[in-house]
Structure 1
């Protein structure tokens, strides 16, 4: 009897991603998935409770990889909050692009259900925690209740912005996703200008860009 392979969490994720891209469906069962890849079924349960929990870990892993790359850069560590967020976006979307086929499978193929949102649950927790620790300057409120409300609103709006950017990227047909890069730069700048109560020039600029893209797509 062949000896079962020792396998890591990241290897299981990679095997799962390869399976769904080749077969365009989940493995039938965890038992079959483990048997086909010559590892003990119990090893799967050391990391995940189901294929659904594995799918959530995929997007969390994309975030963790992007964050790990950034944390190794001295330039990034010295950036202000705006440029840190910009750097995160560019790095995160490079990783998404490298795995675009899987992201399309996981999100677009399930866009009519709640499954895609569940897939992003752990990513949301990671990203919200990241936003919380960016030390973004906001209004200097004196009441603790208002401060908590403002912080929560900031995290929720940042999450919505990330979802909108992912949707834009999924629909982007430009070479090397150049329009997504432009959208990232304009939307992050606009969001910070709103927080800083700065002039509305960048907001108008973003609006013109989105209107032009909508007209072209139609």
Structure 2
């Protein structure tokens, strides 16, 4: 049988996910993987340098598919940051649910903890960029270094929240993962309530007023 001449990144990801779900382990080598799927080994390296790189790209594909679906929605475009993130969560976990068997295989049994998994590194980068583009209101600290620290803290806390939600979903045994939907709604609401800048700005303004009054009286 003639070798397949055209192999896309999507083809390789599909072949790989099918293989690990059927065999419960990754292929022994790229050569064996290519032979099993009837394409030249060199075609693999046109897209990925290793199986590890392919694994990392799978979760980024879930992310990309989520954003593609959201950006087609006119409603999503009109949402504020809170509702955009909420929509992202619901759509992202729909993508995970459609591929749950693979996700459980990839991250469900890791003893090291999800946070340290290299397989999520590309997802983390894309998600952090997404959080940065959401335009979440933060305190105007008027100091570059402090604002960098604040933005970094915001992205890290958002990433941690996503990891916690993924862990909850992995452990969720409710019908249609309805408990995860409730968890998403409550956790996103709570996280935005925590970073609501309105009361913090009021406190800062009050502090500035007291400081000025004290300096004036002295």
TM-score, normalising length: structure 1: 0.87
Q: Which residue of 1 aligns with 2:174?
A: 174
Residue correspondences, number: 199
Q: Which residue of 1 aligns with 2:160?
A: 160
CA deviation map 1:138-187 (0-9, x unaligned): 11211111111100000000000000000000000111000000000000
Who wins on radius of gyration, i.e. which is larger?
A: 2
Answer yes or no: is 1:100 the counterpart of 2:115: no
1:6 deviation in Å? 1.4
Q: Which residue of 2 aligns with 1:70?
A: 70
The runs of 5 or more residues in structure 2 that have no matched partner are 200-218
Q: Which residue of 2 aligns with 1:184?
A: 184
CA distance in 1, matches of 2:127, 2:115: 19
Q: Which residue of 2 aligns with 1:28?
A: 28
Cα distance change, pair 115–193 in 1 and its aligned pair in 2 (3 A): closer
Contact 2:139 2:197 in 1 (8 A): no
Contact 1:106 1:116 in 2 (8 A): no
The runs of 5 or more residues in structure 1 that have no matched partner are 200-218
CA distance in 2, matches of 1:115, 1:164: 9
Contact 1:9 1:47 in 2 (8 A): yes
CA distance in 2, matches of 1:97, 1:116: 22
TM-score, normalising length: structure 2: 0.87
